[in-house]
Structure 1
Amino acid sequence: MNGKRWKRSTTTVYNISYHLIWCPKYRRKVLVDDVAKRLEKLLLQKAHEIELEIVQMEIMPDHVHLFVKTTPTNSPHFIVQQLKGYTSRILRQEFPSLKSRLPSMWTRSYYCESVGHISEETIRKYIEKQKNK
């Protein structure tokens, strides 16, 4: 995907973005040094595989922030499920200390907020004005 505001498919014009956050189990500060570097590479690999553009990423010791752009067919739940599942499996294989410190790599929960170019108020006004046309 490129940096343009709108993307296109054969039937759709879209601009879909999400801010996603999730944490390691028990919010342990395990995302440091080599683990953090490897996590970044794994997230980029999986994102490419599922047609996801990671616009911005910040890996903190106890949580991950992503700003992503995606296609209309990728739900936030699918995205998080794919990224967390893939990274958990590989990180726990490559860093045995994670297995001994955590029963699973990630918490089950995550934060998701849709991010748009125009505000909710603008959309409400636009829809309301459609009645008067």
Structure 2
Amino acid sequence: MELQHNSHQVYELGYHIIFCTKYRNKVLEGDVAVTCRHAIAEACVAYGWKLEEIEVMPDHVHMFVTAPPQTAPAEIAKTVKSISAVKIFTTYPSLKGRRFWGSGLWSPSTYFGSVGHISEDTVRRYIQTQKERA
């Protein structure tokens, strides 16, 4: 992850995001997995997020994405889940009726983890020793 900046901000913000298919249905295999991967990558490009890594498993997706500070991780997940579900159901309409009974592709639950180059302990020590270094 590299240091990024815009006109008023310098940042290194990365997120590990995991989301599952509804009912943990194992439908993200073969061409469906490829379509999912491409839909997520295209959404990230369209919104200006950098998709660092992605792995599509049969019933869930792991992604490592970097984004500017004004973009909430929940917004990233909501957007990629929505766009990928539409693309997958459009490309493979039989999935919707067979396994998801008219509901969405993704479970509403999502895991979010922050990714950085320094540890929690380092940040704590840095803040605690501010007066000593001033």
* Normalised-by-shorter TM-score class: over 0.9
Q: 2:39 aligns with which of 33, 37, 42?
A: 42
**Corresponding residue of 1:27:** 24
Offset at residue 104 of structure 1 (A): 1.4
1:97 Cα deviation after fit: 2.0
Structure 2 counterpart of 1:23, which letter? C
Residue deviations 1:2-56, cap 9 Å, x none? Answer: x6x2001111110000000000000110000110011111111100011111111
Equivalent in 60, 63, 77 of residue 63 of structure 1? 60
Q: List gaps (5 residues or longer) in structure 2.
A: none
Count of residues paired in the alignment: 130
Q: TM-score w.r.t. structure 1 length?
A: 0.94
Instruction: After the TM superposition, list the runs of 4 or more consecutive aligned residues in structure 1 that deviate by more than 6 angstroms.
Output: none
Q: Is contact 2:35–2:87 with CA below 8 Å preserved after alignment?
A: no
Deviation (angstroms), 1:93: 1.5
Aligned CA RMSD, in angstroms, stands at: 1.0
Match of 2:11 in 1: 14
Q: After superposition, give the CA deviation of every residue in 1:56-81 in whole Å (9 maximum; x if it has no partner).
A: 11000010000111111211011001
Superposed CA offset, 1:91-118 (max 9, x none): 1121112211112100001000001100
